[in-house]
Amino acid sequence: MVDANTAVRPAPALLPALGAMTSLQALVALALFAPGVVAPRAHIEVWQLSLFSCAVFAVGIPASFWGGSFIARMGSLRIASLCAAAIVVSMALASLGSSAALLAAGLCLGLAMGPETPASAALLARLVTAERRAFVFSVRQTGNQIGAVLGSLALPAIAISFGPAWCYAAVGACALLGILMFEWLRPAYADKVAPPPKLDLRARLALMTADRRIAMLALASMPFSAMQVSLNTVFVTLGTRELGLSHIEAGMALACAQASGLVGRLGWGYLAMRLDASRAVLVVIGLGMAFCAALLGLAGASLGRSVQFVVAALFGLTASGWNGVFIAEIARLAPQDRIGETTGAVLTASYMGLLAAPVLVSILDGAAGLGAALATLACLALGGTLALIWGRP
């Protein structure tokens, strides 16, 4: 790797690294979606899927928090290879089919999900200029949508034609190809700088709290992450139960939201790059997702079908489109020799939002309905947006 403060790499050198790290996130997303996609054929119950997801995040949080030290010592692409190896093992366990195997698969997948974003941030931040950082990081974050789309299209067909075990085998084979690619690229991006000294827990937390701007990013990421995961998981139920949509219509509306999320990751990144104002773009995104969630939650049933679809698209544009600009802003503010550790520490807060959201939505749904749950998330997202405004220099 080359320190961006001392030398500027030729532009072509960025592309292989960007492609590799985007592929890594696509692999993680593909593995994360696999059990849910094959659930009908594999007879996996909802509680088993919840167990798998909780296991992933339970391991992913500490893996993200502590992974920065390993990134500094082993290099981002070696970490990418280890993440892909964890995916291979996870898919092998999931193919066994039992609840215990699915739990073990989730725990193993968490070892891949936790370090992959900090590793990408540490590598790409050294290769990209400050002016292009927001857009490049947004491109990298499209790996999540790429993996989800590929999984949604390919895995059901494989499950129907060959059986669920072949779906897991296909994901594992993709991860093995990923290992070959990461190891082939690794010598060209090897870090020649001596690893920084180890950080204890207090020092790691200080990376996130010493700078008010980073602390407010971490605070805002919790409700933003909660909004994103809620959009992905309960929107169809909201549409059929409270918005008056048929199952097919609700699925189509969610598809519009997901497609808009992909467009948003690129569009917001490009806008932040052109304006050189990542935090201002995040503020606009936060206000947008809060407005869309409040509108759907409080008055969604009174909207016409076309308006509901437009609001769903705007909801996806904001609630699923913020990640790239967010990671780029962390990389900009973090100490340049601690980008991996700082990203991991801030993402710990984001993952807490992912963990807390299902519990909060379930409680509010039982008490007042999904519309009220969405309106509550809108208030929390608004609070996160205000934190971003307050955290500006």
For residue 101, what pLDDT band results from cuts at 50, 70 and 90?
very high
Residue 193 has pLDDT above 80, yes or no: no
What pLDDT, in 10s, does the model give residues 256-301? Answer: 887 888 888 889 988 988 888 889 999 999 999 999 999 999 998 8
Residue whose C-alpha is closest to residue 78's, from 62, 93, 67, 65: 67
Buried b (16+ CB within 10 A) or exposed e, 202-221: eebeebbeebebbbbbbbbb
What pLDDT, in 10s, does the model give residues 15-58? Answer: 899 999 999 999 998 898 788 777 777 777 757 777 787 888 88
CA-CA distance, 85 to 164, in Å (whole number)? 20
Question: Would you kindly state where each structural domain of the chain is located, as residue ranges?
Answer: 11-190, 202-390
Residue 195 has pLDDT above 60, yes or no: no
Query: CA angle at residue 286 from 282 to 287, to 5 degrees?
Result: 120
pLDDT for res 46:
58
CA-CA distance, 245 to 301, in Å (whole number)? 9
148-152 — which CB contacts under 8 Å span 24+ positions?
Answer: 148/29, 148/30, 148/33, 148/258, 149/258, 150/26, 150/30, 151/29, 151/30, 151/33, 151/34, 151/37, 152/33, 152/37
Between 339-368 and 46-74, two packed helices, what is the crossing angle to 10 degrees?
170
Residue 68 has pLDDT above 70, yes or no: no
147 contacts 345 by C-beta, under 8 angstroms = no
CA-CA distance, 38 to 57, in Å (whole number)? 20
More confident residue, 237 or 306: 306
Helix ranges, the chain (H): 11-42, 46-74, 76-94, 99-127, 133-141, 143-162, 164-185, 201-209, 212-241, 247-275, 278-299, 305-319, 323-333, 339-368, 370-390
Q: Mean pLDDT score of the chain, rounded to an integer?
A: 84
Residue 7 has pLDDT above 70, yes or no: no
What's the CATH number of domain 11-190, 1.10.3720.10, 3.40.50.300, 1.20.1250.20, 1.10.1740.10? 1.20.1250.20
pLDDT for res 2:
42
Which of 197-211, 232-246, 260-274 reaches the highest mean pLDDT? 260-274
Is 153 exposed, middle or buried, given 0-12, 13-18 or 19+ CB atoms closer than 10 A? exposed
The mean-pLDDT minimum among 179-188, 202-211, 215-224 falls in 202-211
pLDDT for res 234:
78
Residue 371 has pLDDT above 70, yes or no: yes
Residue 375 has pLDDT above 90, yes or no: yes
Question: Region 246-257: what's the mean pLDDT?
Answer: 80
Same fold, 11-190 and 202-390: yes
C-alpha separations of 158 from 151, 168, 326 in Å:
10, 10, 35
pLDDT for res 294:
95
For residue 198, what pLDDT band results from cuts at 50, 70 and 90?
low
Q: Which residue has the tokens 């963990």?
A: 355
Buried b (16+ CB within 10 A) or exposed e, 88-103: bbbbbbbbeeeeeebb
Q: Within 10 Å of residue 174's Cβ, how many Cβ atoms? A: 20
What pLDDT, in 10s, does the model give residues 74-100? Answer: 888 999 999 999 999 999 999 998 889
Q: Which two tokens stand for residue 242?
A: 């409270």
Q: Which two tokens stand for residue 323?
A: 């990640």
pLDDT for res 191:
60
pLDDT for res 4:
43
CA-CA distance, 208 to 217, in Å (whole number)? 9
Which of 146-150, 206-210, 330-334 reaches the highest mean pLDDT? 330-334
pLDDT for res 161:
86
pLDDT for res 288:
96
Kindly report the length of the chain. 393
For residue 73, what pLDDT band results from cuts at 50, 70 and 90?
confident
What pLDDT, in 10s, does the model give residues 103-119? Answer: 999 999 999 988 888 88
Which CATH number applies to 202-390? 1.20.1250.20
Q: Which two tokens stand for residue 279?
A: 């935090």
Question: Region 117-127: what's the mean pLDDT?
Answer: 86
